[in-house]
Amino acid sequence: MSAASAAAAAPAPVPVVALRDVRFAWRPGRPVLDVPALEVAAGERLFVGGPSGSGKSTLLAVIGGVLVPQSGTVELLGRSLAGLRPAQRDALRAEHIGFLFQLFNLLPYLTVLDNVVLPCRFSAARRARATRGGRGVEAEAARLLGQLGLGDPELQARRVTELSIGQQQRVAAARAMIGAPALVIADEPTSALDADARMAFLDLLMAECRAAGSAVIFVSHDTALAAQFDRRITLHAPGVPHG
Amino acid sequence: MASPGTVIALAARSLWNRRGTALLTVFSIAVSVTLLLGVDRVRTEARASFANTISGTDLIVGARSGDLNLLLYSVFRIGNATNNITWQTYQELKDRREVAWTIPISLGDSHRGFRVMGTTLDYFEHYRFARDRGLEFAAGKPFAGVFEAVLGADVARDLGYRVGDRIALAHGLAATSFAMHDDKPFTVTGILRRTGTPVDRTVHVGLAGIEAIHLDWQSGTRLPGQSVSAEEAAARDLTPKAITAALVGLRSRAATFRLQRALNEYPAEPLSAVIPGVALQQLWELVGVVEVALIAVSAFVVLGGLLGMLAAILTSLNERRREMAILRAVGARPAHVFGLLVSEAFLLATTGVVLGMGLLYLLMAAGKGLVEDKLGIFISIRPPGPYDLAIAGLVMAAAIVMGALPAWRAYRNTLADGLTVRL
């Protein structure tokens, strides 16, 4: 199992993510993930493809520090996750990673705006970055929503359950990006959208991440989307990445 | 790092989103809290009401009997006297140096279910209830003649009597007595203002009146051929031969125990002298067991309410795994998830307690009149006392402790689920 084309991207001084000899198995002897080397530079956009069951979500969980690999090292912004206590990993993740999932990303009982603001309530660093312009977190959330085509204040005050799936995913994108995290992890965020909405959503996401300087790790089985990214790797069951 | 306020606010929003089931839980806690606080209210109000019925009286003196029995029949019109005390003994008691005043009480007759009490004008002057309230007339004036009566407020209201009406007393205490003193009717001269004590349910007449209606009676039946007309009776010597009991006020409280002992060892006849407060204390000890049982039952009902809440939260956990995962993905730590669920239990219990207290006051306001009428117990509506606040605090604390169980489950779930739940 090998990491391909890793050398092609010029590594930044401190990569956002660096994996070395990472192996993860739910049951001993049957690894679902085996990554000899993988680096994501600051602002880099990485597409991770591969069929279901190939370990894509496991890779994201390992990068996010939710799963701890049996061997190898995982570094987030130069800090090794292995040496951290769970609470420290949680804090590091909350501060530096924005998450975006396939569906049901949002809390149904909060308004659109409150959902977007949520990461700033759990991370002081995210809050500080979001309010760097001297505005409140709500204003920053409204600005992000505006960039994603959800600028209507009446819509922002609605409960998320009243929105279409496409709108919900854009709200989730705004939430992942508030407070400019170093890394946005997107796990099949477009699979519930139709083809047109998919490309439009991806364009918006990429533009915003570029503006914020966030690196993106984008997981999808839809290889048509891969052209938009700086780099592309493909995982093959059981968890073998190919360039 | 999120503040506790954030977590509590999230818990409140989440609960509001599930307000249907949440309200049921809140109501079950509210009802149980109302019950627990209500039992205590009824208990303390009943005690206060009993304690308020007699005040200012230092000793109650009657024929030898149990302290409690003497108190109950002389003041609360509950039960019957076993024996009488002689008029001479009463006179000797009245004339003692340490005695400031006495109120003689003569019981045994009734009027349509209400008890008749023979007494003197001292009753209207010296009887005190509710700390230091004296008897007042809503209409009319005290009795003066032999065949005159003063009615308690309930008697007048229930039977529709007014000043000037004529009423016939019955021998004995049954509501439908065949032995009527109907040959010597009494005229109502006054109606007392409501007191919230058994006075309201009493027909008061002079001792002479009691004597007069019994002139031609012996051993509970009318003597044949010895009918005495009302006019003849009034002309006779109507000094009573005996009374049932006497309320005694002393010049100095310090003399109470000395006089009590002297009366209990009275050589001429066997007497009992009781201090009202002490006898009441005996009563409380007696009913204390029942009170404890009631409170224990109510406490278990509260526990039931809290267990219901626990069950509701626990069953909600599975369908809320996604909610927890989302929170984790936006940066909430497992500790926050734990706090979220404890907050939820706390909010449910707090709302339940507040609602329960509101319900209690609503019930008290609504039931006040009925309880006064039917039980003669005055309910004062006062703000929550230390007991109420302690109960409220206890329920909330118990809720927090119980909330730790689902919180722990959710905590474990979150660790296992990570940031996504595939449902």
As for the ipTM of the complex, it is 0.85
Q: Calculate how close chain B gets to A110, using CA atoms only, in Å.
A: 7
- The pair of structure tokens assigned to A29 is 């002897």
Q: Calculate how close chain B gets to A141, using CA atoms only, in Å.
A: 14
> In this model, does residue A240 exceed pLDDT 70?
no
Looking at chain B, the whole-number percentage of residues with pLDDT higher than 70 is 92
Q: Please tell me if residue B332 touches chain A, with a CB cutoff of 8 Å.
A: yes
Q: Please tell me if residue B417 touches chain A, with a CB cutoff of 8 Å.
A: no
Residues 6+ apart with CB under 8 A from A78: A14, A15, A18
Residue-wise pLDDT for A88-130, tens only, equals: 888 899 999 999 888 778 999 999 999 999 999 999 999 999 8
Q: Please tell me if residue B335 touches chain A, with a CB cutoff of 8 Å.
A: yes
Q: Half-sphere exposure (CA, 13 Å, Cβ side) for B259?
A: 25
Q: Where are the alpha helices (DSSP H) in B320-332?
A: 321-329
Cβ–Cβ gap B330/A90 under 8 Å: no
What pLDDT band is residue B404 in, cutting at 50, 70 and 90? very high
Q: Across residues B187-199, what is the average pLDDT?
A: 90
- The A residues from 140 to 169 touching B (CB cutoff 8 Å) are none
Mutate to test the interface with A, among B15, B330, B336 (most CBs of A within 10 A): B330
Cα–Cα distance between A105 and B420 in angstroms, integer? Answer: 9
Cβ–Cβ gap A94/B335 under 8 Å: no
Chain B, nearest residue to A106 by Cα: B326
Q: Name the average pLDDT for chain A.
A: 85
Angle of the B321-329 helix axis to the B386-417 helix axis, nearest 10: 80
Cα–Cα distance between A220 and A56 in angstroms, integer? Answer: 8
> In this model, does residue B173 exceed pLDDT 70?
no
Residues of A in contact with B330 (CB under 8 A): 94, 99, 118-119, 122, 175
Any idea what DSSP says for residue B79?
Answer: S
What pLDDT band is residue B161 in, cutting at 50, 70 and 90? very high
> In this model, does residue A219 exceed pLDDT 70?
yes
Q: Calculate how close chain B gets to A122, using CA atoms only, in Å.
A: 5
pLDDT recorded at residue B310? 92
Q: Calculate how close chain A gets to B418, using CA atoms only, in Å.
A: 6
Cβ–Cβ gap A106/B330 under 8 Å: no
From the list B359, B349, B323, the residue with the least C-alpha distance to B402 is B349
Residues of A in contact with B420 (CB under 8 A): 57, 101, 187
Q: Name the average pLDDT for chain B.
A: 87
pLDDT recorded at residue B420? 67
pLDDT recorded at residue A237? 62
> In this model, does residue A5 exceed pLDDT 50?
no
Q: Calculate how close chain B gets to A168, using CA atoms only, in Å.
A: 14
Q: Please tell me if residue B319 touches chain A, with a CB cutoff of 8 Å.
A: no
Q: Please tell me if residue A139 touches chain B, with a CB cutoff of 8 Å.
A: no
Residue-wise pLDDT for A7-39, tens only, equals: 444 444 789 999 999 988 888 877 888 888 899
Q: Please tell me if residue B322 touches chain A, with a CB cutoff of 8 Å.
A: yes
Cα–Cα distance between A33 and A24 in angstroms, integer? Answer: 5
Cβ–Cβ gap A106/B322 under 8 Å: no
pLDDT recorded at residue B108? 85
Residues of A in contact with B327 (CB under 8 A): 107
Closest in A64, A95, A106 to B326, CB measured: A106
pLDDT recorded at residue A242? 52
| The residue count for chain A | 243
Q: Calculate how close chain B gets to A15, using CA atoms only, in Å.
A: 22
Residues of A in contact with B17 (CB under 8 A): 108-109
Q: Please tell me if residue B4 touches chain A, with a CB cutoff of 8 Å.
A: no
Cβ–Cβ gap B331/A123 under 8 Å: yes
Cβ–Cβ gap B333/A105 under 8 Å: no
Q: Across residues A175-190, what is the average pLDDT?
A: 91
Chain B, nearest residue to A179 by Cα: B330
Number of A:B CB contacts under 8 A? 65
pLDDT recorded at residue B232? 75
Q: Please tell me if residue A45 touches chain B, with a CB cutoff of 8 Å.
A: no
pLDDT recorded at residue B76? 83
- The pair of structure tokens assigned to B178 is 């065949």
Q: Calculate how close chain B gets to A64, using CA atoms only, in Å.
A: 9
Q: Please tell me if residue A188 touches chain B, with a CB cutoff of 8 Å.
A: no
Residue-wise pLDDT for B47-102, tens only, equals: 887 888 888 899 999 999 888 889 888 888 877 887 899 999 999 999 999 999 99
Q: Indicate left, alpha or beta for A106 from its phi (over 0: left) and psi (-120 to 50: alpha).
A: beta
pLDDT recorded at residue A4? 44
Q: Across residues A176-185, what is the average pLDDT?
A: 92
> In this model, does residue B368 exceed pLDDT 60?
yes
List own/partner pairs for A72-76 with CB under 8 A and 24 or more apart: A72/A19, A72/A20, A72/A21, A72/A22, A72/A23, A72/A35, A73/A18, A73/A19, A73/A20, A73/A21, A73/A22, A74/A17, A74/A18, A74/A19, A74/A22, A75/A15, A75/A17, A75/A18, A75/A19, A76/A16, A76/A17, A76/A183
Element (H, E) at A72: strand A71-76
What pLDDT band is residue B265 in, cutting at 50, 70 and 90? very high
3-class SS at B397? helix
Cα–Cα distance between B406 and B404 in angstroms, integer? Answer: 6
Mutate to test the interface with B, among A85, A99, A121 (most CBs of B within 10 A): A121
Residues 6+ apart with CB under 8 A from B281: none
Amino acid B195 reads: T
- The B residues from 108 to 127 touching A (CB cutoff 8 Å) are none
pLDDT recorded at residue B307? 93
> In this model, does residue B127 exceed pLDDT 70?
yes
What pLDDT band is residue A235 in, cutting at 50, 70 and 90? confident
Q: Across residues B365-372, what is the average pLDDT?
A: 80
Amino acid B181 reads: H
Q: Please tell me if residue B21 touches chain A, with a CB cutoff of 8 Å.
A: no
